[in-house]
Amino acid sequence: MNYYSVSKTGNREVNEDSTGIIKGTDCTCFIVADGLGGHGKGDIASQIAVSAFKSVFEKRLTLPMEESLTSAFQNAQNAIMSEQQRQGAVFQMKTTAAAVVFDHTSAICGHIGDTRIYTFAHNRIKERTLDHKQDVVFSIPITNKERYGETTDTLIQLCKEHCLPFEYDLRYFTLQTMAGKWRIDMNLRPVRLEHINLVKERGNTKKFHVQPRLFLSLRDTFDYIMRHDSKLIEEMVERDKQEQELAMG
């Protein structure tokens, strides 16, 4: 496996990024910590975070890999907070962190803050982590895991079954119901969904609004769309009925 580490200072006087490539007995860990420049002492925080990960993964693991990763994040948090107290800098010395750990059979990742982890396939983004600063409610399907084997054809078949018009331009899959126009970014996992409410925004056909939820499955995404717009149509019919009754006296 080939790997590289590149870090640039950018417009700041101090490079507050820290990286680590930790080859242990049981696994290998890659970590990136991005010190928060606006708070001060971010370079110290990021260095402490990387050191905490090294203390966990340089030696033979005593816990499963996932628990070891959780422990590394907690150790980093505790070490940074201790140094904040020692230097009297409780409102400074902050950092994000993103780490990937793998052995011969599997890989896991963890992150905190807005430092992202990406996976690429065929020169395109396949998946990425979600920034913690984004306020998102996760919609977890009943299976509580991704439905394997789903492709664009899954959405095409569902649209045909429900007689819904759709378009696909190699990135966005767009479909329309009686009450809404929906767009799915096929490059992202979890699935991000964008929406135009055609009942309340009848003149709007282009300005999509990001839905405050994510999905692990394309089929569950479609089911949510149908539930959402069915409820919207019911409310619209009820409102029209009430208006007619008022008009009749």
Q: Per residue of the chain (249 residues), what is the pLDDT tens digit?
A: 788 888 888 777 788 999 999 998 889 999 999 998 766 888 999 999 999 999 999 988 888 888 999 999 999 999 999 999 899 887 788 999 999 999 888 889 988 888 889 888 888 877 788 777 655 555 554 444 566 788 899 999 999 999 999 999 888 999 999 888 999 988 877 788 898 887 776 666 678 888 777 787 888 889 989 988 888 788 777 777 777 767 665
d(CA 63, CA 199): 54
Contact 95, 134 (CB under 8 A): no
Show the tokens assigned to 149.
């084997």
Closest CA to 92 of 33, 44, 34, 48: 44
Specify the pLDDT at position 202: 64
Closest CA to 100 of 203, 183, 206, 27: 27
d(CA 72, CA 76): 6
Specify the pLDDT at position 158: 95
Specify the pLDDT at position 142: 46
Residue that the structure tokens 């799915």 belong to: 184
Show the tokens assigned to 221.
């995404």
d(CA 81, CA 75): 10
d(CA 100, CA 102): 7
Nearby residues of 163 by Cβ (< 8 Å), 6 or more positions away? none
Closest CA to 218 of 162, 141, 161: 141
